[in-house]
Structure formats: structure tokens, C-alpha cells
Amino acid sequence: MERFVGELLARAGELARSQGLPCQVVLGGSAARGTWLAGDHDIDIFLCVPEHRELEEAMAIGRQLVLEHEERYAEHPYVHASLGGFDLDIVPCFSISDPSHLRSAVDRTPFHTRYVAGRIRGLEDQVLLLKAFMKGIGVYGSELRTGGFSGYLTELLVLKYGSFAAVLEASASWRPGLVIDLENHGSAIHTQPLVVVDPVDPRRNVAAALTLDRFAQFIGAARQFMAAPHERFFFPAPAEPLKDGELVRALQARKTMIIVVEFRPPDLVEDIIYPQLQKAQASIRSLLDREGFSVLRSGGNVSGQWGWLLFELLVWELPGVKKHPGPPVWEGQHLDSFLQEDRLILSGPYIEEGRAVVEVLRKYRRPDDLLRDRLGSLSLGHHLSPSIRSSFVLYQGWEILSIQSQDFRLFLSRYLSLRAWPAAQD
């Protein structure tokens, strides 16, 4: 790996010189700090240009560095390539002198590398243990899908507490609202569950992407691990696509109704798709709940050409009658409109908590009727809405056995065996 990276850095430097671009070529992330987790495949190379030059000049270097590449876009464009078994990102940024005056978030990275590299010497193994533990339980990575701990965050935690074991022990007294401020900068006010003040940019919370649930999951897993250490925390049993027999047995035990919305997802990076998968689930759950179909849990997955939204229902058949609450009785105009609606009334109007209420015939007695009618009018995320609306297929109950995609079966397996930490018997 080191030789491969060394060659890349050297060639990038040559290309810049030959084109008259003053450019610092900086290896970013864990590879530069000796905290590179085996099995990771990510190499980040930053091409830092002076502020009076254009990022596009650095992009040109990136394109020439690896001919077979694609251009991706985060805050700015960058070059992505698969090369020698690695996922390579070549990221243009500006050389700046003060990280509190950034042009873009990536400009901060060289400062992070410098801060950590100078202090982590001798603690690299502790960082690797912490990363491997977090990866094993599924809280490693600050991308939106995971909402976990970034590599930089794990490094700062080890710098704060001194070792892998010390971080785990400390977590026993962590609560949401915890503030860690290594350089005693004093922090701006953040509302995230964990605030780690960035040593190189005090206004920034390094743990901004960490969700409450991943924060809690780490605390819980650390407690389980300290009570009964086991290698499964680092090397969990890999999830396998669920076989027909396993799926049948799970459905027989749970006796719920699983509904799957299958669709063709748009071709977008995970950090854009994932929040929309969450939004789509929330919209559909709220529709189902409003109409009286109680949802136990839901899940969403996009994998290549297919996307799935899954809803597990506790209630999927409702009676003919439905309670329809109206306005407070003293709002006369509203009351008149409510009473004039054209419908078959089974009971009422009667009064409940000051409101007029009627019991009417229910329109949707089954969730599939509801979804077929109303899915198209829900807000399912900017890019997902059109994809889902244009063509979705609804599967329910035993019908989901007919979805043969191994990606779907893997998604189902993870959905059903969802665990915050390994089981004792694993």
C-alpha cells in the first residue's frame, strides 16, 4: 500500500510542476496517520492549490493522474477511481493558513492530518482497535447511512482518553449532551448528542454526524464487551441472504404483515439517496398510522438497479367504521362545513373534548388499497418521489417470497436480525 501511494503522490507532484501549478500533494485520512484499518480500501489524495488559483486546475491534474475515472460531486467536484484494489479519491482543495476561514470543508483536512500526526505517535494500535470495534458493531463511518463515528473522531477520542480500553471505560458515564474539548477552546452551542470541539476549528463539532442511536449503541456495546469480551465484537458473523425456509420460519413466528414497495432507484450517491429513503419511510409510515394501520418497524435499501421500502404491520385489516373528528363546536362556520360534508354517517355527530365527531364508513380497510391510491401523492424525497411514483410494485405477506434478488434477501436478513451488539451465543 505504502509503495502504491508513494508512486501516486510523486506522479501527481510531477504533473503539477509540469503544468506550472503550485500545488501541495497531501495524503489524507488514516493512511497518512498510520491508523489505516486493514480491509479498508479508501485512499484520499488532496491537491491543495493557492487561493488565487482555480480548483479546476487541480481537477485537471486528477483526471490525468488516473485515466479511467469518474467525476463525482460533493461540495466541489472530485475524481474517483478504482485502482489496484483501492478506492481512490483525488480531491482538489485550497491551501489556506487559518482553518477557521475555509473556502470548503475539504480545505480543513490537511489541518486534521497535521494535528493528529503530531500527537498520535505510539497510539496508532489503540486507534485501530477502536475503529475495528466500531466497525464490527456497525457505528463506524460518518456517512449519513451509518451516522456513526468518523476516523478523525476515533483519533481524537484516543488522544483524549489514552487507549482503546480507556475510551470504552469512559463511555460508561457518557450521556447525550457530552462535550469533549481537547484544546479547551470553549465550544459554540451544539444540540447534537455528542459535541467534540474540533481542535483546529473550534466552531465545528467533529461528531456532528453522529446520531443519538449510534452514540447509544456504542455505549451499550462497550458495556457488553467489557462484561464479556469476545472477538465477535470485532469480527461479526457476516450477514447471509435469507433462504426461503428461514424467511418462512421468521414470518410464521412473527405473524405480522410485511409490505414491500419495490422501485427503480435513481443513480445517485448514497449520501443523497439515504436521507430520502428515510424520508420516504417516514411519509409512508405516517400515512399508514393516520389510517389506523399500526407499523412495528420499517426499513429501506437501495442496491444497484433495485430499491425496496419495507413496512412491517401489526394491523392490516380494519373494520367498516371510522371515527372522523371535526372542529370545536364553537367554531360555527367550520362546524357547518363539517356537517354538510356528503357521507354516510353510522353514529353521531356527537361531542368529544368539545369537538363534533362522526363515525363514518372507512375508505381504506386494507393497507395495499391505501398505498396503491395514495403513494403517488406523498412526499418521498426529491429524487425518490418521481422514481417511486413512475413504477412501483407492491408485495405483501407471502408474496415477498417471490422477490428472488439476493440483495433483497440480504436486506431482509439484516432487517430481521437487527442487533446493536453481538449476541452471547454468536
- Note whether 212 and 176 are within 8 A (CB): yes
Closer Cβ to a second copy, 223 or 382, answer by number: 223
Question: Among residues 250, 256, 284, which one has the least CA distance to residue 414?
Answer: 250
Closer Cβ to a second copy, 111 or 311, answer by number: 311
- Note whether 178 and 194 are within 8 A (CB): yes
Torsion of CA 189, 195, 197, 201, to 10 degrees: -70
CA distance 251 to 313: 12
Stretch that binds a second copy, among 2-10, 22-30, 153-161, 340-348 (CB under 8 A): 340-348
CA distance 347 to 310: 36
Cell numbers at residue 407, please?
Answer: 440483495
Torsion of CA 350, 352, 358, 360, to 10 degrees: -130
- Other beta carbons less than 10 A from residue 259's beta carbon: 25
Stretch that binds a second copy, among 145-153, 157-165, 180-188, 220-228 (CB under 8 A): 220-228
Among 126, 256, 276, 413, binds a second copy (CB under 8 A): 256
- Other beta carbons less than 10 A from residue 95's beta carbon: 17
State the binding string over 342-361 for a second copy (x if CB under 8 A, else -): ----xxxxxxxxxxx--x-x
Confirm or reject binding of residue 172 to a second copy (CB under 8 A): yes
Residue listed under C-alpha cell 485512499: 43
Compute φ and ψ for 298, nearest 5 degrees. Answer: -140, 165
Sign of the Cα pseudo-torsion (180, 183, 185, 186, in order): positive
At closest approach, how far in Å is the CB of 418 from a second copy?
5
Confirm or reject binding of residue 246 to a second copy (CB under 8 A): no
Stretch that binds a second copy, among 25-33, 52-60, 264-272, 339-347 (CB under 8 A): 339-347
At closest approach, how far in Å is the CB of 339 from a second copy?
8
Confirm or reject binding of residue 421 to a second copy (CB under 8 A): yes
Sheet with 355-361: list strands edge to edge.
Answer: 321-328, 355-361, 345-352
Closer Cβ to a second copy, 12 or 358, answer by number: 358
Closer Cβ to a second copy, 84 or 176, answer by number: 176
Measure Cα distances from 63 to 70, 90, 159 in Å: 9, 9, 37
Cell numbers at residue 271, please?
Answer: 449520501
The helix (H) or strand (E) run that includes residue 311 is strand 306-313
Stretch that binds a second copy, among 240-248, 269-277, 298-306, 332-340 (CB under 8 A): 332-340
Closer Cβ to a second copy, 37 or 257, answer by number: 257
# binding residues, a second copy (CB under 8 A): 57
State the binding string over 196-215 for a second copy (x if CB under 8 A, else -): ----------------xxxx
State the binding string over 292-331 for a second copy (x if CB under 8 A, else -): x-x-xx----------------xx--xxxx-x----xxx-
Among 335, 366, 397, 410, binds a second copy (CB under 8 A): 335
Among 248, 269, 401, 418, binds a second copy (CB under 8 A): 418
At closest approach, how far in Å is the CB of 175 from a second copy?
5
Cell numbers at residue 306, please?
Answer: 433495485
Confirm or reject binding of residue 219 to a second copy (CB under 8 A): yes
Closer Cβ to a second copy, 7 or 336, answer by number: 336
At closest approach, how far in Å is the CB of 330 from a second copy?
5
Compute φ and ψ for 339, nearest 5 degrees. Answer: -75, -25
Stretch that binds a second copy, among 45-53, 148-156, 173-181, 400-408 (CB under 8 A): 173-181
CA distance 136 to 237: 9
Confirm or reject binding of residue 65 to a second copy (CB under 8 A): no
Question: Among residues 139, 116, 103, which one has the least CA distance to residue 35?
Answer: 116
CA distance 158 to 160: 5
Confirm or reject binding of residue 181 to a second copy (CB under 8 A): no
Site residues (CB under 8 A) for a second copy? Answer: 172, 174-176, 193, 212-217, 219-220, 223-224, 253-257, 292, 294, 296-297, 314-315, 318-321, 323, 328-330, 332, 335-336, 339, 346-356, 359, 361, 416-421
